[in-house]
Amino acid sequence: MGGMSGPHVIRGSVSLPEAELMWRFSRSSGPGGQHVNTSDSKVELSFDLAKTEALPAVWKQRALERLAGRLVDGVVTVRSSEHRSQWRNREAAAVRLTALLAEATAPPPRP
């Protein structure tokens, strides 16, 4: 399989820089037979929302407020372990994080 299907576009021309994504891999629990016990297929993807300069300031502020309950020291983390393959879990985690940030940075609805 090829590399990651980046860039991870949040909206318009704004995307997550690969260099700012922190990946962690571990063994997954659950179905998958023996394969799942021998490969690091579970993925955790973290992004330092508080320190990033990749987002416009107003988006960053909005996301920090909306995701306050999910942040640990300004870092947002998503996990994926539903697939047997680490690559597919990486893709799923990246899609999740991108969608989460797209929602968190969206302008508020007009009254």
For residues 12 and 44, give the distance between their C-alpha atoms in angstroms, rounded to a whole number: 26
Q: Please answer whether residues 42 and 25 qualify as being in contact, where contact means their C-beta atoms are separated by less than 8 angstroms.
A: yes
How do the domains of the chain map onto residue ranges? 16-105
Q: What are phi and psi of 3, to 5 degrees?
A: -75, -170
Q: Please answer whether residues 52 and 14 qualify as being in contact, where contact means their C-beta atoms are separated by less than 8 angstroms.
A: no
Domain 16-105 has CATH 1.10.10.10: no
Q: Please answer whether residues 80 and 107 qualify as being in contact, where contact means their C-beta atoms are separated by less than 8 angstroms.
A: no
pLDDT by residue for the chain (111 residues), tens digit each? 334 456 689 999 999 999 999 999 998 766 655 555 567 889 999 999 999 999 999 999 999 999 999 999 999 999 999 998 999 999 999 999 999 999 999 998 888
Instruction: Flag whether the pTM goes above 0.75.
Output: yes
Which two structure tokens, joined as six digits, stand for 69?
A: 């309950």
